[in-house]
Amino acid sequence: MTNVRGAVERAFELARNHCQSLSEIRAILKAENFEGVDIHMDGQGLRRQLQALMKKKLAASVV
């Protein structure tokens, strides 16, 4: 079993470096066998933070 903190940390890593959507983050976390991905990703605050990171990454790549 993977702990919650590991799943959340991995989600931030994916948002900063790889993924372009929340559904992509969810799919990767599930493929990596993190448990309770949907429950963790349902938090509005977490979703906002991840979306902000992905938006920032996208804006930086355009410039």
Does 1 have pLDDT greater than 60? no
Residue identified by tokens 């990171």 is: 53
Burial code (b: 16+ CB inside 10 Å, e: under 16) for 45-60 equals ebeeebeebbeebeee
What's the predicted TM-score (pTM) here?
0.84
Model pLDDT, residue 3: 59
Residue 4 contacts residue 19 (beta carbons within 8 Å): no
pLDDT digits (tens, 9 = 90+) for 5-60: 789 999 999 999 989 999 999 999 999 999 989 998 899 999 999 999 999 988 88
Residue 25's Cβ-side half-sphere holds a number of Cα atoms within 13 Å equal to 27
Residue 48 contacts residue 10 (beta carbons within 8 Å): no
Residue identified by tokens 């804006």 is: 59
